Amino acid sequence: MLPQSIFIEIRAGAGGAEASLFARDLASMYIKYAGRKGWKAGIIDASISDLSGYKDITIEIANPEAYPALKQEAGVHRVQRIPATEKSGRIHTSTASVAVLPVYPTNALEIKPQDLDISFSRSGGAGGQNVNKVETAVRIVHKPTGLVVRSQSERSQQRNRERALDILRSKLIEAEQEKAAGSLAETRREQIGTQDRSEKIRTYNFTQDRVTDHRIKKSWHAIERIMAGDLDPIVRAFAKS
């Protein structure tokens, strides 16, 4: 049975401010792709950089077709372009890591309340009139593993708590599955990587108008169209591979 929703986590990697702008571009790409497909998508939590990029962001896409279409997006993405802040016209290389997590039902894994350290704060992003007035944003630390999850997009503290627990559950189940397969460190490294420029699954080369996926050794042009959410050619290529 396919998961009904997925979380996509994007984290800026190597490249400083430009990496956070690339993380923002990737988030926009996935949200626009979901819009093209008629899938519901929204931001669960985001940490904004000085240049209005994303240090990290968590998106939820709600549709059973989302996981088979986007599971191959997990890994380190690399961009090569001239940043808007670059005055000498030099091409910069930056990275962002992407993780794709299925959303599991509540009964899929018991999370013990005593294992959680839960704190609340005022939300810093979009979420309605409650933002910055009441403490609706939720941060949960899972003490046995040290995992930290956040949610601030919902209007109520309870809903943000539920969404944060959904993210935590997905991460814990993913870790258990990897551990059972005997490849926790290796698989996580494949999903997240070290965020170093040399580790990449895909390169977005703006100066050459080309997107290259290094796993299936295939390239596509019209990079602006792809960044605007036209991911179908990439999704179809992976479906055939």
CATH code for the domain in which residue 149 is found: 3.30.160.20
Other residues' Cβ atoms within 10 Å of the Cβ of residue 175: 15
Of residues 111, 97, 117, 61, the one with CA closest to residue 196 = 97
Per the CB < 8 A criterion, the answer to whether 58 and 43 are in contact is yes
Owning domain of residue 193: 5-105+184-232
Residues 64, 167 within the same domain = no
Question: CB–CB of 167/44 below 8 Å?
Answer: yes
Are 45 and 150 contacting, i.e. CB atoms less than 8 angstroms apart?
yes
The per-residue pLDDT for 131 is 45
Whether 38 and 97 share a structural domain: yes
What's the domain count of the chain?
Answer: 2
Q: Which of 140, 159, 180 is the last residue of a domain?
A: 180
Q: Do 229 and 32 form a contact (C-beta atoms < 8 A)?
A: yes
C-alpha span between 12 and 56 (Å, rounded): 6
DSSP state of 161: H
Whole-model pTM: value is 0.84
d(CA 28, CA 19): 14
Q: Are residues 29 and 50 in the same domain?
A: yes
What is the chain's pLDDT, residue by residue, as a tens digit (241 residues)?
578 899 999 999 988 889 999 999 999 999 999 999 999 999 999 999 888 899 999 999 999 999 999 999 999 999 999 887 777 778 889 999 999 999 998 888 999 999 999 999 876 654 444 444 567 899 999 999 999 999 998 888 899 999 999 999 999 998 887 776 665 455 555 555 555 555 699 999 999 999 999 999 999 999 999 999 999 999 999 998 8
